Structure 1
Amino acid sequence: MSAITLRIPDAMDKALRDAAASAPSLNDYIVKALRRQMTIDAARQLAPIEPLDLGGEGDAL
């Protein structure tokens, strides 16, 4: 696991806290958002690659 430091601009603080109101914590909300963004970024990098022949493994991208 790696630690990161995130600086939230004052202008975004209230909106971010409001968005995270239903999450267990602000930290949890930010970690989930970061994971989603990392998944999207990885998918964008994989998208241009030729389709994978998974040989019936049951996986598809």
Structure 2
Amino acid sequence: MSAAFTLRIPDAMDKPLREAVAGASSLNDYILRAVRRKMTLDAARKLACIAPLDLLI
């Protein structure tokens, strides 16, 4: 399932953001990857608070 949304970029952020994504296929792709990374990190932090992981094998 996917959802569409509109992101308004303030004029002051437009040029620096476009420069930062110069290597990406598109600004949209860069923002989507950044949002996914943020969501993954947030979920991992919540999980770590609920049940600390025992990573020793």
TM-score between the two structures when normalised by the length of structure 1? 0.77
Residue equivalent to 1:13: 14
Identity level (%): 69
TM-score between the two structures when normalised by the length of structure 2? 0.82
Displacement of 1:5 in angstroms is 1.1
* 1:47 counterpart SS class: helix
Q: Which runs of 5+ in 2 are unaligned?
A: none
Equivalent residue pairs, number? 54
Supply the RMSD in Å over aligned alpha carbons: 1.6
Residue equivalent to 1:29: 30
Q: Which runs of 5+ in 1 are unaligned?
A: 54-59
Q: State the structure with more CA Rg.
A: 1
| Letter aligned with residue 43 of structure 2 | A
Q: Name the structure where helix makes up a greater proportion of residues.
A: 2
Residue equivalent to 2:42: 41
Measure the CA separation in 2 of the matches of 1:11 and 1:52.
Answer: 42
